[in-house]
């Protein structure tokens, strides 16, 4: 068991739209409030990713041009280390543009960005409007039914290979492609999602889940009155009235 959570943020100067950096702040606070050490390292174009020196890798979303720059560097210079880290038990959270790079490729018009190939998925920029709005999904991540709330804004449509599990089922919003009802992907310790928010401040339970997975420990609960209020407000902002939900059915609402 590590005495501190060691987090690597990939390309944080570029992959940080919709305040995705808030996810890192949430992890730091949840650790500090439990007297767990927290170490954050930024890894960008000129930096080396050391597989044995991190417990959790994070990559957020970015603009198209920045995403393309990161995709090439990620695949050419960091893929092997990243694969080794994940194989060794490191957790990985990727949001939006970062999520799109987890699969084999992302095709945008005549250009195809290389992907990491960590999960069986492909992303395509198809004709049609961007998929935008507040979103809620149901997920059984961690073994119990829970809700995840966030904000999505993506032009790419992601298609998972047969047998690859989405992170959850769309209750409100569009999800991976607006068609199959799936949102995000989960494979072992790798989680990808289109949900911004920032995601973790709106879903404190997911932040704790990631810390537990990364460190291999069980966390003591915190006094989460404000966090729970933020979570429930985000659910209602997506047009899902809490009064219509069976609260007993969801572990995050009990």
User: Residues with catalytic annotation?
Assistant: 96, 196
How far, in Å, are 58, 168, 239, 242, 252 from residue 248 at the CA level? 32, 19, 20, 12, 9
Report the alpha-carbon distance of residue 14 to residue 59 in Å, rounded.
Answer: 10
Q: Which residues pair with 47 in a beta bridge?
A: none
Q: What's the CA gap between 205 and 207, in Å, rounded?
A: 5
Beta bridge partners of 152: 133
Cα distance between residue 231 and residue 235, in whole Å:
6
Three-state DSSP string of 156-173: EEEEECCCCCCCEEEEEC
């Amino acid at each position: 068991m590590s005495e501190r959570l060691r987090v690597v943020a990939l390309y944080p100067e570029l992959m940080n739209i919709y305040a995705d950096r808030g996810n890192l702040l949430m992890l730091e606070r949840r650790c500090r409030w439990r007297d767990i050490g927290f170490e954050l390292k930024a890894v960008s174009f000129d930096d080396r990713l050391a597989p044995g020196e991190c417990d959790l890798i994070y990559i957020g979303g970015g603009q198209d041009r920045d995403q393309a720059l990161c995709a090439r560097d990620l695949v050419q210079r960091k893929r092997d280390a990243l694969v080794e880290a994940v194989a060794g038990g490191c957790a990985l959270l990727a949001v939006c543009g970062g999520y799109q790079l987890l699969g084999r490729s992302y095709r945008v018009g005549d250009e195809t960005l290389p992907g990491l190939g960590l999960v069986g998925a492909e992303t395509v920029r198809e004709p049609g409007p961007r998929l935008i709005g507040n979103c809620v999904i149901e997920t059984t991540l961690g073994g119990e039914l829970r809700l995840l709330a966030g904000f999505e804004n993506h032009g790419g449509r992601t298609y998972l290979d047969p047998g690859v599990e989405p992170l959850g089922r769309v209750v409100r919003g569009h999800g991976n492609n607006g068609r199959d009802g799936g949102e995000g992907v989960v494979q072992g310790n790798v989680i990808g999602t289109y949900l911004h928010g920032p995601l973790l401040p709106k879903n404190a339970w997911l932040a704790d889940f990631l810390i537990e997975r990364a460190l291999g420990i069980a966390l003591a609960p915190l006094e989460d009155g404000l966090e729970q209020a933020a979570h429930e407000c985000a659910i209602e902002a997506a047009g899902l009235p809490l009064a219509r939900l069976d609260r007993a059915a969801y572990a995050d609402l009990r």
